[in-house]
Amino acid sequence: MDRFALTLVPLVLLAACGGDEPTEETVATPEPSERVANEPDPDRMPAPNADGVDTIDYSGSYTFTGIDGSHFTLTLDKEAGTYEYVSPDGTTSGNYKKLDSGRIAITNFDGSAGYFSIAPGALYRLADATSPFDEIDLGRMYRRSDYVADAGPGAALPSIVTTNTVADKREK
């Protein structure tokens, strides 16, 4: 009788644990970085234009807020071909250069060359001089301070989006 009871114990335990039914494994998904989690959806950002340098009135001030909360301002004057860049480290100014109809270059931008594409209400800093005008890095959008767009395709959101800024945008 003891042998019979000893044989049943593992079977009872196996049945209590779900038997040999396969169990769904839980895969741990890493949390996205704060930067990725707070970036705007590309479909909600103004699209750069292949001839934006020639057709868009991009004169004005553009702001960028770093992940640490630091503020940067880039002011462009299309007619004069000049820029002023204000960062926590200081101010630089001078003339920018038109690379082609979709991109401009600033020789001294934070200590190195900066390349930008033009969109209605936004500038996108490009990785380098060979980057195409439509290569958007979501974390490098400078938003024009006086540009207002309704929510939806092409709407400009701050460079760092939070739950509150998205909710505020939808309430307006």
Q: What is the pLDDT of residues 116-166, one digit of tens each?
A: 999 999 999 999 999 999 988 878 999 997 776 554 444 444 444 443 434
**What is the rounded CA–CA span in Å between residue 102 and residue 53?**
5
45 has pLDDT over 90: no
pTM of the model: 0.63
Could you say which architecture CATH assigns to the domain 47-146?
Beta Barrel (2.40)
More confident residue, 6 or 93: 93
pLDDT of res. 74: 96
Q: Alpha carbon 65 to chain centroid distance?
A: 11
Which residue shows structure tokens 């998904």?
29
pLDDT of res. 136: 82
